[in-house]
Amino acid sequence: MTKYDVNLNLIFAALSDETRRAILVRLSRGPATVGELASHHEMALPSFMGHITKLEAAGMIETAKKGRTRYCRLSPDGIAPAQHWLDQQADQWVKRLDQFDEYALSLLKGKNDEP
């Protein structure tokens, strides 16, 4: 397993949770403090911090502490590895469907050529 695969695993694991996806949606509008982000979720702060930690470990967000306040923001290329992988998979699906389409058309053509 490569580092790229591990990063993908962490990204998809991070995206698998509704709370973490909500955090990413909120951060897409701009940076926020952990307190601001947590205020929209009914859970204890230590539990919420677990979500922040997983997003940070996946490289999807960055945090910085200023005084007693921790700020979060999206990582510039945090989603890029997953997007790249999804694009590759979509290309493969299109290629395979095109091949299947060609095969089906050749079968139909062969039936139409029969007397």
What confidence tens digit (pLDDT) does each residue in 72-88 have?
999 988 999 999 999 99
pLDDT of residue 104: 87
pLDDT at 2 over 60: no
* C-alpha–C-alpha distance, residues 23 and 91, integer Å: 30
Supply the CATH classification number for the domain 3-74: 1.10.10.10
What's the pLDDT tens digit per position in 62-72? 999 999 999 99
Say whether pLDDT at 30 is over 70.
Answer: yes
| 108 contacts 74 by C-beta, under 8 angstroms | no
Q: Residue 11: how many CB atoms within 10 A of its CB?
A: 22
d(CA 115, CA 15): 57
What is the largest distance, in Å, between two alpha-carbon atoms of the chain? 85
Average pLDDT rounded to a whole number, residues 91-110: 86
Radius of gyration of the chain measured on its C-alpha atoms: 22
